[in-house]
């Protein structure tokens, strides 16, 4: 980080200017935003009805070494984030991702168990309600047949032309930061083998 970089960063702060277009930190200058992807692969999408995604818990993730030392478990808050990302894509898909989908409220969440390294969390989301302003999903997290968590999550829709957004770039929200790439992961596994393609040509 050069000197100019450093002084501007400290003057504005890394996140204190969100909402103001003119003062928003320039991602090109401050580096890429932190990846915030808490699902590994989208397994199933039944438009407007349900979705399933998975998250593999691994000791390669740094945070597990702090949460907790000697007893690594997937943090409940990040599990909720993965559940919200699964439900958010389910809702966003219904409107062809025209709206910015923001997690507004979690009216209910219950954790029954935990997930440890080596576990595969399966997030099953069901669309409960959907309307122009937003929607509600119910998501269940399981490891095998073990129920780990269940939540009800409310999302609101915002539009990038909404004056209340103050010109915030949609790229800062749910469907960017490569999150949508998780939908491609599943497709990649189903792609035709390279040898077949060669044979076709």
Partner 1 sequence: MATNEEILVKIQEVLANALGVDNEEVTPSATLVGDLGAESIDFLDIVFNLEKEFDIKIKRGELFPENLAAEGDGLAIDGVVTEDGLAKLRERLPHADVDAFAVDPKVENIQDLFTIDMLVKFVAAKNAPTTKSCPLGHECAVNASNCPQCGHQFA
The residues of the shown chain that bind partner 1, judged by CB under 8 A, are 104-105, 107, 129, 131-134, 136, 154, 156
CB 107 within 8 A of CB 87: no
* Residues tagged active-site: 67
Nearer to partner 1, 15 or 163 (CB): 163
For residue 19, the 8-state DSSP code is: T
CA nearest neighbour of 56 among 114, 111, 118, 112: 118
Distance CA 37, CA 35 (A): 6
Q: How far is the CB of 76 from partner 1 (least distance, A)?
A: 19
Nearer to partner 1, 86 or 136 (CB): 136
Q: How far is the CB of 155 from partner 1 (least distance, A)?
A: 9
Q: How far is the CB of 134 from partner 1 (least distance, A)?
A: 5
What are φ and ψ of residue 94, in 5° steps? -60, -30
Q: What angle do CA 41, 142, 118 make, to 5 degrees?
A: 65
CA distances from 200 to 123, 191, 192, 194, 195 (A): 38, 14, 11, 10, 9
Helix (H) or strand (E) holding 106: strand 100-111
Structure-token pair, residue 16: 């204190």
Judge residue 56's burial from the number of C-beta atoms within 10 Å of its C-beta, 0-12 exposed, 13-18 middle, 19 or more buried: middle
Nearer to partner 1, 164 or 195 (CB): 164
Nearer to partner 1, 164 or 198 (CB): 164
Residue 112: alpha-carbon gap to chain centroid: 22
Nearer to partner 1, 61 or 130 (CB): 130
Q: How far is the CB of 158 from partner 1 (least distance, A)?
A: 11
Q: Facing residues of 143 across strands?
A: 146
Q: How far is the CB of 113 from partner 1 (least distance, A)?
A: 25
């Amino acid at each position: 980080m050069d000197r100019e970089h450093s002084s501007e960063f400290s003057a504005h702060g890394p996140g204190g200017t969100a909402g103001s277009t003119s003062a928003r930190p320039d991602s090109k200058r401050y580096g890429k935003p932190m990846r915030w992807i808490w699902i590994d692969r989208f397994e199933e999408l039944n438009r407007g009805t349900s979705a399933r995604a998975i998250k593999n818990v691994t000791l390669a993730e740094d945070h597990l070494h702090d949460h907790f030392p000697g007893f690594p478990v997937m943090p409940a808050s990040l599990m909720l984030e993965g559940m919200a990302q699964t439900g958010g894509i389910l809702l966003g898909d219904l409107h062809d991702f025209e709206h910015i989908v923001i997690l507004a409220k979690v009216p209910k969440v219950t954790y029954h168990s935990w997930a440890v390294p080596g576990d595969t969390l399966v997030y099953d989301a069901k669309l409960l309600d959907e309307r122009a302003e937003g929607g509600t999903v119910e998501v269940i997290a399981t490891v095998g047949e073990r129920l780990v968590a269940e939540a009800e999550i409310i999302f609101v829709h915002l539009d990038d032309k909404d004056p209340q957004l103050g010109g915030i770039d949609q790229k800062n929200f749910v469907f960017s930061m490569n999150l949508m790439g998780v939908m491609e992961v599943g497709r990649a596994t189903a792609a035709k083998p390279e040898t077949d393609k060669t044979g076709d040509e």
